[in-house]
Structure 1
Amino acid sequence: MVRLSAVSLLALVGILSLTQTAVHAKQHVFEVVDSATICSTDATGEQSCYPRMFVATDEFQVIKPGQDIPPGLHVQIDMQTGLRMARLMPADDKDENGLALVSDTRIVKDVEEEEEEEENKDTRPPAQTYPHSEKLQEYIDRLVAVAGAPVDRTQTDGTLQVLGELEELVHETRHADQLLHDTHALPALLRLSSPTHTPVPWPSSVRRLSSVVLGAAVQNNHRLQAIAYNAGAIPSLLRSMVDETDLRTTGKHIFALSALVRGHGAALVQFAELGGLRMLRELNPIAVAVNDDNEYEARRLDVRVVRFVEDLFNPEFNPDVPRDQASMLAQNAAAWCETLATRLVDALGDVENEKPVALSAYSRRSTYAQALQSLKAAYPSTCKLPQDFSQWVQDEIARVPKTGDESAEEYRLALTELAY
């Protein structure tokens, strides 16, 4: 058994991710559906969806493909199979982060050495430190060439193939690092994702996957977030989000923005200063749905927006916001409290079970109520709810049936917390 700090745990999991990916790459293909959900397809074609954030208990559980691992857990990794499992730390070890390595501990650094490196780390993104991948560079060069040439829709399939390869590769930190340190790659992705690229944009499938590649590359990596932030990715993606005509693709632009902003204080401030929170309020995808399929995508996008907003106002995900920006965020929180309350009251029935990623009848309402409760808790003096909202909440609690539906129970709990 080896005990590591939180810094060491994250570093080690990043190093070991190559092992797990090599073992499971041919068994699972997973897609980040939104900021809270992942869907995985195994070798038989069977799909399962589960939370993006791993939820730990006192017993070891398997960490599913693509799941994020919160700090402070006891993580067990089998170096032979790449299988990862985690549980809550025992009560007598709460001040530590544990890691048990099965069969190989040679890559573990000394804890003090790891912490000293972290404390002395340059705040600027460091130069590339991973082995250079010629295969990845081939895909990057092809990407840059396509993005720099006039749009040729006969090349759509080839472009999607390149983007698909990149999306699979950048889940490994060493590949994401190489992609973001290529000075031509990020501008190429932003051009491909733009719905206003002149004289004509790429098809929505290309725009969508370009944003997925960018988001997958920078998520949970402060160094790579900083590179994208300094290169102007946030204003570019905001324009794409506002101008996008395809609802599903809009969701992927929001995924990329979420990956850039989450946990990066300067990026959050820029996002807010550029009007990002106002732009999200103005999207209101439900209002533009015109048919059944469009309505389904609109509801998925609506949930994605609300979850993104909840993350934006969560101090845990966005530390180090300058004090002089606090009032701006508080004002935005007030506006969003009113918006969420109004839309919650006006919410229609949710997506039924005939779709691939089914949502229960209370899933969307639950998302609204949870986000509103989070904003109220974080900004108690700013988040003022409508005068008659309290009575509506009481009536709604009584109306929700006790059926054992998980989303209904989550909805009732969030409403109960809103009532106090």
Structure 2
Amino acid sequence: MRSLPPSLFAVLGLMLVGATASTAQPPAPSPAADDEVELICHTDNPAECYPKIFQATDEFQIVRPDQDLPKGLHVRLNVQTGQKEAKINVPDEEIAAVAGLPVDSSIVIVDQDTEDAPVKPPKNAPAYDPIGKIKKPLASNPEQAKAETADFHKSLAILKKGLDIDAALEMLEDISHDIYYGLKITEDYDTVKSLFCLANTGSIFAPEPHSASSMFDTHRATLSRAKLAALTISSAVQNNPAALSEIEKHWQTLQTTKCPGSSEPLSTAAFRLISPLGLNQEESTNDPNVAKARISAISGLLKNKSLRRHFLSAGGMDLLLDILTLNPTTQDDDEWEPAQRKAGLLILDNFLDADMGAAVGEWPSAKSPKQATDKDCASRQKVSGDCWDWHAKQLADRHRKSDKNHWSVELWDKLKEQRKMAAKRSSSSSGKEEL
């Protein structure tokens, strides 16, 4: 560490004089010899005792940490050791160490060191990558690692060929938590397409066949695969920017893909969480566990700015509102609560709560639909985006009395806050345009 010049101690002393002497109080007089002086003794040796109140003289003396300093003294501080020294203050005293230096209001103006010029990278150096290279995980057992790698690549091949999908999905879901394998999964377009189609096929909304039907097991397998595929996507991109970037690269092609059993392209199907027909069990199936897994996948994808933009343009917030406003009549509310909570946290973490890293300002924004009146929203049979606030308030009011910390309460509070911020931004923007 570079040592500080002696003049800096005097400078700091001068600064402290400005702070203490400005009180216009004279230094406390030293007590008379016959006055009783309170001492501080840390040992049994009387010679090591010292006064509790610092006794100033005309020369600088060390101030001990537990001593009290009278007002009006000239104090200086060693910034490297933290040691204080003090003496009787003499107004207008010339300080030789700072003589000739520019001083303003008892503050010495010190020229700033010029910053070192940035080091230029060598010629032909690779471009800087903030993510860095993701290395294959080290294994204590080389043979086990070799077998794991072989199983991984085998599972990828099986998934793409549509063979033993269930075993392949279980293996991929388990290994996707590792950032290396998460990246490898997302690097391959065919694998990503297979996962997205399994997770978002329209078949998950098909009416559930009777348990005696030969199609019952097939339908249950479809739901199980959708859940595993969604969890694999979620795990692969979680805390894995490189994997998320790979999904972004594939999205331009993915979004136009229509998967088997779906009438919608993935640009919409990937974000539709319940059947367009609602909860009518005779016409459709809505599985809360599959919905929750798919919400986890969406939440992970929304960490990417480009994918967030696609989500918003596809009406993703209205599709989330479908989940939040579910009011099951033939199913237990508790069955859907975890999925609804997951949807609420997705909105907070990605759009409303800056403390959680949300991209505040993207939704709601000045371009968001103008909210309808409460009376209008209350009379509607169908959920729509211009009643977002009304539905959020209804949800919060339903839970506030029993649990003021319920996620829906925070969701409504943060939404109101962001609506106000959006209005301010819009007003500010309009004012600039007028100027």
Larger helix fraction of residues: 1
The structure with more radius of gyration:
2
